Amino acid sequence: MSILDFGLIQVYMGDGKGKTTGALGLVLRMAGCGGRVAFIQFMKGWEYSEVKGLSFLPGVRLVQTGRPDYIYPGKIDPLDYAEAERGLRAAGEAILSGRYDLVVLDEINVALSFGLIPLDRVITLLKSRPLHVEVVLTGRTPPRELVELADLVTDMTEIKHPFSRGILARKGIDC
């Protein structure tokens, strides 16, 4: 039995902080009402603080894909393609199974912009999802087609960021 009568497609995008954090807030809400969540991370093969935090929530499955370092355009390794494909397969299984009320595809927009996975497969997957499955896609620059397909799009715009003052990512806040 699903929590939702119908699911929507949400996109959290932009150059500001808060895309993954916003998705995690939605995961907390869904877990809090007894829903089931799949959280698939693309290009995040190291242990961010949310990895441990998600393990405390009942009904939440986490799949991490990617190498444990940053990927730069023009310096993509064959392993990056393989890991992104693994993430897309996990996303397909989670979405199409109908077992989850919410599926988060964290940083999939970046994987798409880097050309690690094909956009047509993602769109086909989204259009094929069971009626009750909500899907959230995060990452800075989603393709225009995803923005058009989405029911809700939030653009996180950076106005001011401590990094510009030399303050690096802080554990528990930024990573």
| Terminal C-alpha separation, the chain | 34
- 175, part of any domain: no
Query: What is the per-residue pLDDT for 63?
Result: 97
- 71, part of any domain: yes
Q: What is the pLDDT along the chain (175 residues), one digit of tens a residue?
A: 789 999 999 999 999 999 999 999 999 999 999 999 999 999 988 777 888 999 999 999 999 999 988 888 889 999 999 999 999 999 999 999 999 999 999 999 999 999 999 999 999 999 999 999 999 999 999 999 999 999 999 999 988 987 778 878 887 777 7
CA-to-CA separations, 72 to 69, 79, 113, 149, in angstroms, rounded = 10, 13, 11, 28
- 74, part of any domain: yes
Query: What is the per-residue pLDDT for 47?
Result: 78
- 3, part of any domain: no
Query: What is the per-residue pLDDT for 33?
Result: 96
User: What's this model's pTM, rounded to 2 decimal places?
Assistant: 0.94
- 4, part of any domain: no
Tell me the CATH number at 116. 3.40.50.300
Structure tokens at 14: 């932009």
Domain count, the chain: 1
Residue 150: domain span: 9-165
